[in-house]
Structure 1
């Protein structure tokens, strides 16, 4: 039963993370991290598929082993957040309370992302 629940949660997290690629209000990375964690307990095949994915695999492996992010990944994510939220704010023209809400969500998201430790440079 626990395995099936973990698989269902992992599938839901993956789906939300995938949708988050296109919708700025759904953060992709946390959902993919959650999906990897759930699949690690329920489906080694799906877990490995995520870890071997050419787009997110390296970041997920780094998160699992070190709980860190690369500075370049943070910068790239920051640009994506800024661009997508700016577009969303522009679309919601004349809805100031929604625009302010989006600014607040973006600020919180960026705050927490930049608090994640960065990978140490190996010498």
Structure 2
């Protein structure tokens, strides 16, 4: 399910964005608390607009490909992954909250974190059983 191809002049920008997002995704595979899947989903979308060969390459990666296939098929996330995602959001918000000097910004940041936790836990389907 590829996105429509972009005009030729935009393809290099989509490719550059895809590589940058892919890099963040690979960092997320190794850094605890830094999600990788979301970056790979965005990278696949960018590659699909820039060059389908790079999208196919990303989908063929042994670890990343199944995650992207699950996302695209609407299978959702395993319960454990949802818990890790919600906990990561809570930790990131709490650790960075003190760096926001304005009360309005702090409230907005907490609300954004709560919205993220709500979305992951309530709106993203929970995958049961083996992938």
For normalisation by structure 2, the TM-score amounts to 0.64
Tell me, yes or no, if the aligned pair for 1:10 and 1:34 is still in contact at 8 Å.
Answer: no
Please, which runs of 5 or more residues in structure 1 have no aligned partner? none
Q: Secondary structure at the match of 1:63?
A: helix
Please, which runs of 5 or more residues in structure 2 have no aligned partner? none
Alignment of structure 1 residues 47-86 onto 2, 5 Å: 47-51=55-59, 52=61, 54=63, 56-86=64-94
Over 3 Å counting, the alpha-carbon distance change for 1:119 and 1:12 in structure 2 is: same
**Corresponding residue for residue 105 of structure 1:** 112
Q: Secondary structure at the match of 1:2?
A: coil
Structure 2 Cα separation of the partners of residues 79 and 59 of structure 1: 20
Q: What's the CA shift string for 1:56-86, capped at 9, x where partnerless?
A: 4432221123342222221111122111111
> How far 1:104 sits from its partner (Å)?
0.9
CA RMSD of aligned residues (A): 3.5
Point out which structure has higher relative CO (alpha carbons under 8 A, 6+ apart).
2
Over 3 Å counting, the alpha-carbon distance change for 1:105 and 1:14 in structure 2 is: farther
Counterpart pick for 1:39 among 47, 68, 71: 47
Structure 2 Cα separation of the partners of residues 108 and 15 of structure 1: 26
Tell me, yes or no, if the aligned pair for 1:9 and 1:38 is still in contact at 8 Å.
Answer: yes
For normalisation by structure 1, the TM-score amounts to 0.67
Over 3 Å counting, the alpha-carbon distance change for 1:91 and 1:41 in structure 2 is: closer
